Amino acid sequence: MKKAVYPGSFDPITNGHVDIIERISRVFDEVIVLISEAPNKTYLFAPNERKAFIEETLKHLKNVRVDIFEGLTVDYVKKSKAQVMVRGLRAVVDFEYEMTIASMNQKLDPDIETMLVFASPEYYYVSSRGVKEVARYGGSLKGLVPLHVQKSLVERLKKTGV
């Protein structure tokens, strides 16, 4: 059984993430969407909120599950007995960063392979950070995030005043 882990903060999940997850779910028997927690990062949504968004969005994919982890992703991948870590690439500017992460992970565990998946062209520009910025200033989120995420994002930003 081929298993892959797709890590990210998913704060919030975007349609670009969904596109990559749907595509890799056709390649692997099991895909774990891993919500990575970094203590030095500030999040708009709590891990369990992000998990609920992702599970609702991906409920049509029976071979995808969602988990939360704080620590080295390579440790989680090893513990879960996955063979591959999938990383998404939006544009050339992401490549150097992703290559550095892949090289570090290769050093930490040579048995885990990193697979880079290019975002579909319609999502090259979509990022969680960009989506939050658009929402913060009242721009249209149509086509950027799933509808239920859009509503929660707008409500959260109104409530927090961020």
Rounded mean pLDDT, 72-88: 95
Catalytic residue, candidates 50, 51, 87, 90: 90
Q: Reply yes or no on whether 25 is catalytic.
A: no
Catalytic residue, candidates 9, 25, 36, 128: 128
Report residue 70: phi and psi, to 5°. -120, 125
Is residue 161 over pLDDT 90?
Answer: no
- The CATH superfamily holding the domain 3-160 is HUPs (3.40.50.620)
Q: Reply yes or no on whether 17 is catalytic.
A: yes
pLDDT digits (tens, 9 = 90+) for 24-71: 999 999 999 999 988 888 999 999 999 999 999 999 999 999 999 999
Catalytic residue, candidates 17, 50, 51, 87: 17
Q: Which residues pair with 69 in a beta bridge?
A: 36
Domain ranges of the chain: 3-160
Residues 126/12, Cβ–Cβ less than 8 Å: no
Dihedral sign, Cα of residue 137, residue 52, residue 22, residue 84 = positive
| Model pTM score | 0.93
Give the tokens for residue 115. Answer: 């697979």
Residues 97/127, Cβ–Cβ less than 8 Å: no
**What is the per-residue pLDDT for 162?**
62
Q: Reply yes or no on whether 128 is catalytic.
A: yes
Task: Read off the amino acid at residue 112.
Answer: I
Q: How confident is the model at residue 130 (pLDDT cuts 50, 70, 90)?
A: very high
**What is the per-residue pLDDT for 96?**
82
Q: Reply yes or no on whether 136 is catalytic.
A: no
All residues at 6 or more sequence positions from 69 whose CB lies less than 8 Å from its CB, including other chains: 7, 34, 35, 36, 37, 76
Q: Percent of the chain beyond pLDDT 70?
A: 99
Rg (CA), the chain: 15
Is residue 148 over pLDDT 70?
Answer: yes
**What is the per-residue pLDDT for 158?**
82
